[in-house]
Amino acid sequence: MVASISKAVLVRERLVPPRKPTPLPGRPVRGSRTGRPIMALLDLLGRRWALRVLWELREEPSPTFRELQKRCGAVSSSVLADRLRELDEAAIVTRSDRGYTLTPAGADLLGRLLSLDEWASRWASSQTASARPVAPGTMTNDSR
């Protein structure tokens, strides 16, 4: 039987990278050594699957871990666990007996993100309506 090796041993031996700390205001984050709140938020939301997790928590009932993983599609259980841990530490998501839910701060954040969704839809329409002609000999993403 193969002995299991703890993650701490793998990190210590540099076989796996150490876990990045949760981006929070006041801590150094991507783009800010001082941890400006907006930069901490953008770092947190810019992590893989973070926005999708928030999006999938917008509706009731509160999903369990496995239900949330199903809703998110191809997310691995380790990445989902990391995102939920970070979002919980940032007080955006919480876990209850029934599953995962947005905190009041998380619901407020999602409402503000929905405004961005509306803006993005108008922007997408304007981009399609005013599509710029493609110069001869250049390749677009659609023609590859």
The Cα 132–Cα 118 span in angstroms is 23
Place of tokens 């793998």: 10
> What pTM does this model have?
0.74
Which element (helix H / strand E) includes 115?
helix 104-129
Q: Is the pLDDT of residue 117 over 50?
A: yes
pLDDT in tens, 89-112: 999 999 998 999 999 999 999 999
Say what the pLDDT of residue 31 is: 83
pLDDT in tens, 27-51: 888 888 888 999 999 999 999 999 9
Say what the pLDDT of residue 60 is: 85
| Residue 140: Cβ-neighbour burial (10 angstroms; 0-12, 13-18, 19+) | exposed
Handedness of CA 11, 15, 16, 18 (dihedral sign): positive
Using alpha carbons, select from 109, 120, 118, 119 the residue that is nearest to residue 53: 109
pLDDT in tens, 61-89: 999 999 999 999 989 999 999 999 999 99
Cβ–Cβ under 8 Å, residues 54 and 113: yes
- CATH architecture group of domain 19-120: Orthogonal Bundle (1.10)
11 pLDDT band, cuts 50/70/90, is: low
143 pLDDT band, cuts 50/70/90, is: very low
Q: Is the pLDDT of residue 1 over 60?
A: no
Place of tokens 């800010």: 32
